[in-house]
Structures are given as C-alpha cells and as structure tokens.
Amino acid sequence: MTPKTVAFYTLGCKLNYSETSAIGRLFEEGGYGVVNFNEGADIYVINTCSVTDFADRKCRKVVRQALRQAPHANVVVVGCYAQLKPQEIAEIPGVDLVLGAAEKFRILDYVDDLSKAPGKGLVHAGEVQEARDFVNAFSFGDRTRSFLKVQDGCDYKCSFCTIPLARGKSRSDTVENVIANARKIAEMGVKEIVLTGVNLGDFGNGTEVIEGVKPKKEAMFIDLIRELDKVEGIERFRISSIEPNLLTDEVIEFVAASQRFVPHFHVPLQSGNDKQLKAMRRRYKRDLYASRVAKIKELMPHCCIGVDVIVGFPGETEEDFLETYRFVNELDISYLHVFTYSERENTLAAEMPDPVPMHERRRRNEMLRILSEKKKRYFYNQHLNTAKNVLFENSKQAGIMTGFTDNYIKISAPYDPLLINEIGEVNLQKIDNDGNVKASILAEIY
C-alpha cells in the first residue's frame, strides 16, 4: 500500500517554522511521505499566524491553492489563528479539521480517520489554558540554518497583542533538552541555529502553576546561552528577538565576548513615545531602550540592531508619531519592521478611544519604511570594502548564491556549489539594485 502523503504551508514567525518541522517529523514517524506543497498531497497542513489583520484572507488563499493541487485532499489548519477563531476557520470551504494550541502536536490522533465530507470542518480546540506543556521543536530542511524553539507562550499583557490568547502562559524547555537538540542539529550538518520563542528573554519559566505558586526559574536566558556556546559543531547562534527589559547587560556582554553568538539583536520598540508605551502596556520607557542600544554599540560597534515599531495605535497623535520618528532616526539601529496597527478582538486596545484613520496609519507606515531603507543602506555602507565571514546559501536567482555576514548583511556572489553551507571570507564591494551587497570571495575554503 502506498503511504499517504502530507504537505505543509507555514504563515508567520520563525517559531511557526520550527513547529511545522516538528509536526512534519511526527508524520514521517507515522509512515507518511512528506512532499512539497505543489506536488499534490493527500493531506495539507496549514500553520497559521494571528499577528496581522490578514490571517483570514491568507488562510483562505492557501486552502484554495491546496485544493487546486489536490481537490480531494484533506485540509488541516493549526496555529495561532486556529486557536483564536476555530469556528470561523471551520466554515472556510475545503477545511476538514481545525486543531488548537494544545491539540496540534497530537495531529496524528485526528487525521488517520479523516474523511473529505461537505459542510463544516471538525474542530478540536480547547481553552488555551490547557496548553501548559512545552513541546520542543526545531526546523530542518534548509541545511544552512535551523530555528530552534526554546520557549513558548507569554505572561505579558500588551494591550494590542493576541499571542497570550493563542499560545497560553510562558513556558520553556530545559537547558539540558535544548543542548541535546542543538547537538542533533549539529549532527545534521547545520551551521547556524536561530533561537526562537514568543518571549525569548523570559526563558526559564516553569510549565505549570501548582496551588497558586509559580515554579522558581531553574535557569535564566543567560544560563542557556552560556551552555549553548559550548556546543561543538554549530558555528553560529543567533538570537531571533528579545524584549528590551529582558536584554540585560549580562546578555549583551556575553554576546560581545562570544565566538559563536553573532552580533545581531532584534529588539522590539513599538513606540518611541512614553505615553504610547504606557497605553500599549509595554514594560519599559524609551530611555531604557536607548540605553540598550547604546550598550550594544559601545561593545559591538559593528552590531546589527533590528527594531519593531507599530504605527497608528489608538490615541497616537501626529506629534506622538513624529516623536517616535525622531527617536528612531537618532538611534544607531540598522533596520525596522514596521507594523500598521490593526484592531484585534479581545484586546484592550480594540476598545480604546481616538482610533487613527486607516489612511493616516498607512502614511505613517510608509514614512518609517523609507526611514528603514535609509538606515539599512547607511549600515551597509559602513561595512563596504571590509572583509567579513559569510554563511553561503542557495538563491532563486540563477548563477547567484546569497548569504549573511555574522552581523546580518545580506550578500550576493557568483554561484559555487562547493561553497553552499560553508562559511568563507568575502570582501564587501557595493550595494546592488536589490539592496544586497555584492561580494568577492577572498580565498578558497575547500
């Protein structure tokens, strides 16, 4: 009997990619064949995101694409959007099964007897409080890097965010298990690990509150990265995103001294205006954020710093926005991820007065997007005509390979199959039309 096949589509963050890979391994262990999305599978699993307001539209589009490839396939939807609005997803034509946060890693229990039937899809999505256990995950498929999940959930209550509603309380893997996973990844020939989580700096939280008492942290984020730094076979560790109030001097100083943790931080700001930060229920003020950037640049002048900003939050006046613009402009950072605020059900922000007109939100987004391009170009220009180590990877463009320096400058170079998944020294020459840096290889490394 030919084994059933399964294909995946992932929307959203690096954490979702790590979890999709883990679910894929469950299917492989269950005797399924994993195929590409466009090959036509018996089962399609769509891992969804809820961060933006386009979750519904994106999900519907992927479902339609899947059924074009294989009209009789079973379609399963999991992820954050599936936890938040399972009944809504079940109404999407073609969806057969919706699994919540606590159910998605038991997916094989549900799919074996699944049939393609007209009407509403089946839903198995309990309360998010049931998602108490930490399920470890890491991505594999791209031999160059792996996204390693070390933390899940969030105890913060930012007024705009649905993630705690979708993923539950903060919980973490053990240091020992993270190290074991890192060693497995090294054995697969992967050169770079990207640490992922919902609130990465909160690593160490227990998985369950017993009799109203939260377990004491057995380890902090700094303890984790110290142990990871000793793992043989991984040449680079990258921290995906960390809250400014959890990015301690100790963590910055450790990364600055490490040979394996790269000089690249992504630090969410959301607003450069203290009034807005308070309304957002963020756990810092802009002065603390500025001090974090200054500390990083003092120890690592070449470090890349990425920043998340939300524009058009309720009550954000033109002066509030311009204060954010000026603040970001003066910071020594490298690029921005700009989000246009969108109302999310069951959040405090959705009920706040003085909403910003959508056309104004989009205008502010465009202003910051242009500023981001200027920041990125300035950062890249600072490193032209210098030698940097690059981890080479395949590109979709014929005759070209790409890669990233340790401080996250994207380069392009003439394709050499022997250099893929190798780290080699290049000279950064000039910024090309795509915004990457053309590089020349300085020495043979094979």
Structure tokens at 212: 């109203």
Domain-by-domain residue ranges, the chain?
A: 5-130, 137-379, 387-441
DSSP secondary structure string for all residues of 233-292: T--EEEE----TTT--HHHHHHHHH-SSB-SEEEEEEE-S-HHHHHHHT-SS-HHHHHHH
Which amino acid, one-letter code, is at 258? S
Contact indicator for 320, 364 with CB cutoff of 8 Å: no
Which CA distances in Å does 170 have to 158, 193, 242?
A: 14, 22, 14
Q: Which pair of structure tokens corresponds to residue 370?
A: 């242009």
Question: Strands 423-431 and 437-441, how do they pair?
Answer: antiparallel
Q: How far apart are CA 268 and CA 424, in angstroms?
A: 31
Q: Are 148 and 181 in contact (CB under 8 A)?
A: yes
Residues facing 312 on adjacent strands: none
CATH of domain 5-130: 3.40.50.12160
pLDDT per residue rounded down to tens, the chain (446 residues)? 567 999 999 988 889 899 999 999 999 999 999 999 999 899 999 999 876 667 778 888 999 999 999 999 999 999 998 899 999 899 999 999 999 888 999 999 998 777 766 667 889 887 777 777 888 898 887 668 999 999 999 999 999 999 899 899 999 999 999 999 999 999 999 999 999 999 999 998 754 444 455 555 668 999 999 999 999 999 999 999 999 999 999 999 999 999 999 999 999 999 999 999 999 999 999 999 999 999 999 999 999 999 999 999 999 999 999 999 999 999 999 999 999 999 998 999 999 999 999 999 999 999 999 999 999 999 999 999 999 999 999 988 889 999 999 999 999 999 999 999 999 999 999 999 888 999 999 866 65
Q: What number does CATH give the domain 137-379?
A: 3.80.30.20
d(CA 246, CA 203): 10
C-alpha angle 8-10-16 in degrees, rounded to nearest 5:
120
Q: Does domain 387-441 have CATH number 3.30.70?
A: no
pTM comes to: 0.91
Edge to edge, the sheet with strand 335-340 lists: 264-270, 304-311, 335-340
Contact (CB, 8 A) for 223 and 368: no
Per-position DSSP letters for 142-170, written without gaps between them:
STTEEEEE-EE------TT--HHHHH-S-
